[in-house]
Amino acid sequence: VWALLEASRGKDGKDEGKSADGTVEALMGGDSISLVVMAMRGHAADNDIQRWGVAALWSLCSIGGEAAVQEVVRQGGVGVIVAAMKQLPDTAEVQERGLGALVEIATGGTEMDVQTVVDDGGLEAIQAAIAAHPDDPQVQQWGDAAVQIILDRMPPRRDVDPTAGPESEGRAGGDATDAEATAAAEAGVGDGASTASASTAVGEPGEEEAAKQVPDLDDIDVEL
C-alpha cells in the first residue's frame, strides 16, 4: 500500500513527473485500487495500513480522474475510507486524508458517486471530523469544502411523474431540496439557510466558491 501511495504521488512525493514514465497508465491499468481496498478491509485493525490506504485512494483518484473515482466507488472504496475515519477519529492525519479523498470523489465522480458517499455515511464522517478537530485548519477547510460539494452535487429525486405538469415540477424541486436538507440535518451540517445555499445547481456561484476553497493535494504533506 505504501509503495502504491509513493508511486501515485511521483518521485518527489508531490505528484510531479508521474506521467513521464507511464506511472499513471500503469497504476490505472493494474489492480492498484482493488489491492488497496482489499488491504484496508483485510487489515482493519492496522492503523498504518488504514492511513496509508486512505492517502493512496485519495492520490489515485487525484491522478486517475473520473475513471479512477468510479473504480474506487465500484470496489467499495468509499466504505473503507469512512470506516478508517471512524476507526481513528482522533488522528487528524487520517481525517485530513479521508476528507481529501471524499472531496476528490465528490468532485471528480458522477452524481451517483456522490450519492454513494452519502449512502455510505460520508456526511456523518465529515461532520464528526469537523467536530473532533475544531482547531485544525486543514480538517476544517477540507470538511467545509466536502459538505458544500456533496450537497451541491447530490442527485435530485426522480420519483415524480414527469408528465404531471409545471406544478409537479415545482414539487419535485422542493422534494429534492428537502432531501438535501434531510441529509444535511442527519449529518448535523448547517441550518436551513446554509442548506438552501448548498443546493445551488452545479456551475452556479455557490459551487464555484466552494471549489476555490478546496486545497490542492500538494498543500497536504503526507508524513509516513
3-state SS record for 63-80: HHHHHHHHHHHHCCHHHH
Comparison of pLDDT for 76 and 6, the residue scoring more: 76
- Picking from 25-29, 83-87, 105-109, 215-219, which range would have the lowest pLDDT averaged per residue? 215-219
Run of H or E including 7: helix 2-9
Distance (Å) of CA 5 to CA 36, 51, 141, 190, 197: 9, 11, 23, 34, 36
172 pLDDT above the threshold of 50: no
Torsion of CA 32, 33, 39, 42, to 10 degrees: -140
Residues 224 and 217: their CA atoms lie apart, in Å, by 16
Residues 188 and 144: their CA atoms lie apart, in Å, by 12
Query: What value does the mean pLDDT take over residues 149-154?
Result: 92
In this prediction the pTM is 0.68
Taking a C-beta distance cutoff of 8 angstroms, is the pair 156, 180 a contact?
no
Comparison of pLDDT for 76 and 199, the residue scoring more: 76
